[in-house]
């Protein structure tokens, strides 16, 4: 029984250990970015748009292929479609009857040397009429029954549409390129947002650590001040100054701890994680030199910046639209064919199959197409100016980010000397205070100066990598910023 209890306790301990490990996930920058790229809704939206444009491109290919349509119909008419020529039949019988009676009368004159009597003529007329009425079929035919059905195969193959089909295919290709550029742009923005939030957490963790060290130093100084006061070596004001310094250090630490929690929340939001998820970041900022020249980055930005690719694709779309509008002035040629699958319902005037060539050309439409061409031409000029302005804006963006990065780098280097001097000054002031030659205010000021310089140096390093990330985004490849910063934070 005791053995079973021990096993149960061990299982509970191991479960709690692994559960705690699952809740507190230690994450590095590359893992954070991979998670954000997988979960971000904006990226998924852009990916769906790329797939949409891919299928639109496939659909554009279908314009070059023949279209085959099966058309079925069941029809009920108010009356059958008939042609009635019985009046002509009656006229023919009447004329022929008169001829027969005339021949019979002539025969009677020759044979009997007398004309036919009225009764004989009436009999001859009836006999001839009945014979002709039986001999001639009815002059009435039904072309379409009152109820009939049709099933027709119709095929159309475009031959020449003035270049409109090619323009439509090229337009679809440009739409796909634009969607891919938007996807890359969105990914760069997401990566930049994750890096910014991640660096904020790393920075604030180091700032909190610095604040804690300062607080410990202030408490140590207060303890020394209290001991010296009891010995009568310093005044009560020095102890009070030490108390105020400890309270100020505690307040600064509390503020930065709250900022750190907010930074964690912002990072979780950019990663698509719930607020209650436990996330641990253990990296620290370390300086690493970036040696690429401004000229090299500008050249890469002109080639790879997705904004420029997007504008280039839109510019090509405007060009294809102009070509499509111009094609309206050219003739359109297409082959067509049809085949009836129910010949028993066709009239004698309807063919079972037919093929032919269709040529169509618009001669006048109120100058509508002409004005559309002028509109497209001005759209092309607008895209030219937009492209020129975008290039200048990208170059300004790269220059600004590069110079901000170098400025932060220089501040970081300059503060190294300041920190060394502040450390030496703090050591000197502490020794002077311990020997009774210095004041508590001198020690507090020296420690605050060192704290300010240390935090300023951390902030300079944070600004350095933030500007460097902005530079990579301006260059068009935020993943390089991820690799660069990941290499120096772990």
Q: What is the pLDDT, as a whole number, of residue 489? A: 53
Which range, 4-8, 13-17, 348-352, 463-467, is most confident? 463-467
Nearest-5° Cα angle at 341, 340 to 345: 80
Answer yes or no: is 148 within a domain.
Answer: no
Residue pair 72/153 in contact by the 8 Å Cβ criterion: no
Answer yes or no: is 357 within a domain.
Answer: yes
- How far is the C-alpha of 332 from the C-alpha of 159, rounded, in Å? 8
Answer yes or no: is 200 within a domain.
Answer: yes
Closest CA to 461 of 286, 301, 319, 325: 286
Which range, 146-155, 218-227, 391-400, 479-488, is most confident? 391-400
Q: What is the pLDDT, as a whole number, of residue 24? A: 54
Distances from the Cα of 413 to the Cα of 70, 273, 356, angstroms:
78, 37, 83
One domain for residues 426 and 361: yes
Please state the domain count of the chain.
2
- The tokens for 480 are 């390089």
Please determine, for residue 313, whether its predicted confidence score (pLDDT) is greater than 70.
yes
Answer yes or no: is 4 within a domain.
Answer: no
Answer yes or no: is 144 within a domain.
Answer: no
Please determine, for residue 165, whether its predicted confidence score (pLDDT) is greater than 90.
no
pLDDT confidence of 488, banded at 50, 70, 90? low
Residues 6 or more apart whose CB falls under 8 angstroms from that of 138 comprise 86, 89
Answer yes or no: is 131 within a domain.
Answer: yes
Residues 6 or more apart whose CB falls under 8 angstroms from that of 28 comprise 283, 486, 489, 490
Which range, 356-365, 421-430, 452-461, 481-490, is most confident? 452-461
Q: What is the pLDDT, as a whole number, of residue 11? A: 39
Query: Which comes out higher in pLDDT, residue 120 or 193?
Result: 193
Element (H, E) at 72: strand 67-76
One domain for residues 279 and 340: yes
One domain for residues 223 and 127: no
- The tokens for 386 are 């937009």
Q: What is the pLDDT, as a whole number, of residue 12? A: 37
One domain for residues 232 and 326: yes
pLDDT tens-place string over residues 166-175: 998 999 999 9
One domain for residues 285 and 380: yes
- Mean pLDDT, the chain, as a whole number? 86
One domain for residues 176 and 213: yes
One domain for residues 169 and 97: no
Residues 6 or more apart whose CB falls under 8 angstroms from that of 383 comprise 311, 314, 315, 318
Query: Which comes out higher in pLDDT, residue 82 or 272?
Result: 272
Q: Quick one: average pLDDT of 222-251? A: 87
For residue 55, the cross-strand partners are none
One domain for residues 200 and 304: yes
DSSP, residue by residue, 247-300: HHHHHHHHHHHHHHHHHHHHHHHHHT--TT-EEE-------------HHHHHHH
Answer yes or no: is 23 within a domain.
Answer: no
Q: What is the pLDDT, as a whole number, of residue 177? A: 93
Q: What is the pLDDT, as a whole number, of residue 261? A: 95
One domain for residues 438 and 469: yes
Q: Quick one: average pLDDT of 436-444? A: 82
One domain for residues 103 and 220: no
**Other beta carbons less than 10 A from residue 200's beta carbon:** 19
One domain for residues 95 and 240: no
Closest CA to 40 of 265, 272, 197: 272
Q: How many alpha carbons lie under 13 Å from residue 71 in its C-beta half-sphere?
A: 10
Answer yes or no: is 11 within a domain.
Answer: no
Domain range for 92 is 86-138
Q: Quick one: average pLDDT of 36-51? A: 91
Query: Which comes out higher in pLDDT, residue 160 or 487?
Result: 160
Q: Quick one: average pLDDT of 89-117? A: 78
One domain for residues 66 and 90: no
Q: What is the pLDDT, as a whole number, of residue 385? A: 95
Distances from the Cα of 20 to the Cα of 5, 9, 10, 15, 283, angstroms:
22, 16, 15, 8, 20
Give the rounded percent of residues in the chain with a pLDDT score beyond 90: 43
- Where is average pLDDT lowest: 17-31, 201-215, 404-418? 17-31
The CATH number assigned to the domain holding 178 equals: 1.20.1600.10
Q: Quick one: average pLDDT of 47-64? A: 91
**Other beta carbons less than 10 A from residue 351's beta carbon:** 10
**Other beta carbons less than 10 A from residue 104's beta carbon:** 19
């Amino acid at each position: 029984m005791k053995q079973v209890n021990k096993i149960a306790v061990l299982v509970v301990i191991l479960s709690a250990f692994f559960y705690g490990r699952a809740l507190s996930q230690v994450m590095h920058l590359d893992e954070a970015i991979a998670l954000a790229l997988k979960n971000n809704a904006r990226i998924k939206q852009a990916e769906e748009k790329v797939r949409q444009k891919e299928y639109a491109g496939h659909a554009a290919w279908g314009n070059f292929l023949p279209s085959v349509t099966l058309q079925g119909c069941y029809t009920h008419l108010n009356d059958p479609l008939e042609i009635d020529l019985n009046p002509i039949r009656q006229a023919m019988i009447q004329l022929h009857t008169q001829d027969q009676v005339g021949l019979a009368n002539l025969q009677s004159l020759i044979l009997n040397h007398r004309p036919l009597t009225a009764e004989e003529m009436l009999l001859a007329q009836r006999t001839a009429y009945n014979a002709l009425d039986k001999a001639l079929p009815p002059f009435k035919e039904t072309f379409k029954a009152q109820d009939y059905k049709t099933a027709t195969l119709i095929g159309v193959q475009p031959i020449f549409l003035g270049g409109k089909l090619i323009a439509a295919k090229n337009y679809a290709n440009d739409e796909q390129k634009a969607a891919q550029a938007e996807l890359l742009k969105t990914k760069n923005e997401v990566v930049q947002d994750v890096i910014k939030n991640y660096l904020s957490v790393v920075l604030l963790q180091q700032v909190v650590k610095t604040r804690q060290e300062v607080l410990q130093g202030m408490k140590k100084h207060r303890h020394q001040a209290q001991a010296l006061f009891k010995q009568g070596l310093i005044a009560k004001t020095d102890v009070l100054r030490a108390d105020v310094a400890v309270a100020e250090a505690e307040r600064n630490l509390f503020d930065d701890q709250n900022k750190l929690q907010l930074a964690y929340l912002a990072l979780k939001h950019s990663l698509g994680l719930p607020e209650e998820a436990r996330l641990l970041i253990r990296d620290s900022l370390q300086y690493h030199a970036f040696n690429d020249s401004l000229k090299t980055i500008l050249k890469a930005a002109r080639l790879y910046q997705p904004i420029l690719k997007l504008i280039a694709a839109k510019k090509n779309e405007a060009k294809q639209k102009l070509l499509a509008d111009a094609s309206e002035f050219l003739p359109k040629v297409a082959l067509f064919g049809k085949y009836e699958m129910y010949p028993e319902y066709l009239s004698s005037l309807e063919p079972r199959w037919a093929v032919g060539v269709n040529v169509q050309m618009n001669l006048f439409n109120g100058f509508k197409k002409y004005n559309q061409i002028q509109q497209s031409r001005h759209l092309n000029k607008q895209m030219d100016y937009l492209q020129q302005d975008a290039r200048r804006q990208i170059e300004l963006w790269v220059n600004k980010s590069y110079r901000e990065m170098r400025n932060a780098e220089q501040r970081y280097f300059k503060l190294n000397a300041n920190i060394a001097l502040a450390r030496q000054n703090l050591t000197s002031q502490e020794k002077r205070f311990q020997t009774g030659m210095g004041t508590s205010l001198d020690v507090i000021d020296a420690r605050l100066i060192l704290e300010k310089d240390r935090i300023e140096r951390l902030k300079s390093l944070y600004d350095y990598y933030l500007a460097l990330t902005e530079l990579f985004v301006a260059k068009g490849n935020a993943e390089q910023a991820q690799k660069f910063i990941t290499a120096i934070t772990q």
